Amino acid sequence: MNNYQAPTRFVGKKNKYLDICPSTNSIAFTEALNDDLPEGFAWIAGHQTAGRGQRGNTWNTEPNQNLTLSYLLRPPHRLVEKQFFLSKAIANGILAGLEAWSRATQGENFNFEIKWPNDIYLDGVKMGGILIENNFQAGQWSFSIVGIGLNINQKQFEHIRGTSLRAYLQLTPEIPLTEIYAFISQGIEESYALFTTEQFEKIDEIYHERLFRRAQWAQYEAANEKFEGKIIRVNELGLLEIEKEFTVESYDLKEISFIFPL
């Protein structure tokens, strides 16, 4: 039964629930090409067997324990050169939703952060990720599929530094996934509105307030060299700008790795 509802104007308002599927992004992309679906339509999976992340990684989750879904958005083509601001806006919206849920149900805020480029962190540990895939037709930005995976109830994570809301908060009962869906749909809708109305400075301000390791000296690796650096910002091209001892350098996704303490 599909009990997922969002108190929004359009993001997540209409949706399809799938008991099991390989990837909500793959299904969303195919159906968005073939069907006249409204903006904000969502695909939600109880069990995603071949979820995809950044760098071609897979996203593995236990069945019916986490929130795995994709939204259909139709950004205006005039903003095509501002694509990374869409990524920033989506991350901001997810965090806003999680923070609103925390205040409403737990009575306090927790340390939710955005780790560049597309990870959601909780107190320094990964709890989710975002994968945005764009479609262009006749030279126009036709649509974007926004894939999101959030660890909500799962307690065991193999081979990754991972956590979930339930594990972090040490809750005995499971957190209703429908609650999280409602809150993040609201957060994304409000943040997406900043994007479509071209409020890029506001998006940037919110994003950098929540950026993992911003203005902190930490360890990184690039070109087989380990170094200490301090994240300054993520520019509008999506490049990570890091201050080193005598200079500031910009890095693309595949050019740098974060080093974490053992």
Token pair listed for 194: 């900043």
Q: Which of 186, 196, 195 is nearest to 11 (CA)?
A: 186
Are both 112 and 145 inside the same structural domain?
Answer: yes
For residue range 158-212, list pLDDT tens digits in order. 767 899 999 999 999 999 999 999 999 999 999 999 999 999 999 999 999 999 9
pLDDT in tens, 56-94: 555 557 889 999 999 999 999 999 999 999 999 999 999
Alpha-carbon gap, residue 167 to 247, rounded angstroms: 40
5 in a domain, yes or no? Answer: no
Which residue carries 């660890």 as its tokens?
151
pLDDT, tens only, 201-251:
999 999 999 999 999 999 999 999 999 999 999 998 999 999 998 899 999
Same domain membership, residue 177 and residue 96: yes
Mark residue 189 as left, alpha or beta (left: phi above 0; alpha: psi -120 to 50; beta: remaining). Answer: alpha
Looking at residue 231, its amino acid is I
Domains identified in the chain, total number: 2
Of 177, 193, 209, the domain-final residue = 209
Domain contains 122: yes
- Exposure string over 163-179, b if 16+ CB within 10 A, otherwise e: bbbbbeeeeeeebebee
Verify that 221 and 191 share a domain, yes or no.
no
In 3-state terms, what secondary structure has residue 221? Answer: strand
Supply the pTM of this predicted model: 0.94
140 and 159, same domain (yes or no): yes
Q: How far apart are CA 142 and CA 26, in angstroms?
A: 16
Question: What does the H/E/C string look like for 14-56?
Answer: CEEEEEEECCHHHHHHHHHHHCCCCCCCEEEEEEECCEECHHH
pLDDT score for 22: 92
Give domain status of residue 168, yes or no.
yes
Instruction: Tell which residue, 75, 79, 112, has the closest CA to residue 96.
Output: 112
Please tell me whether residues 115 and 159 are part of one structural domain: yes
- Give residue 244's domain range: 217-258
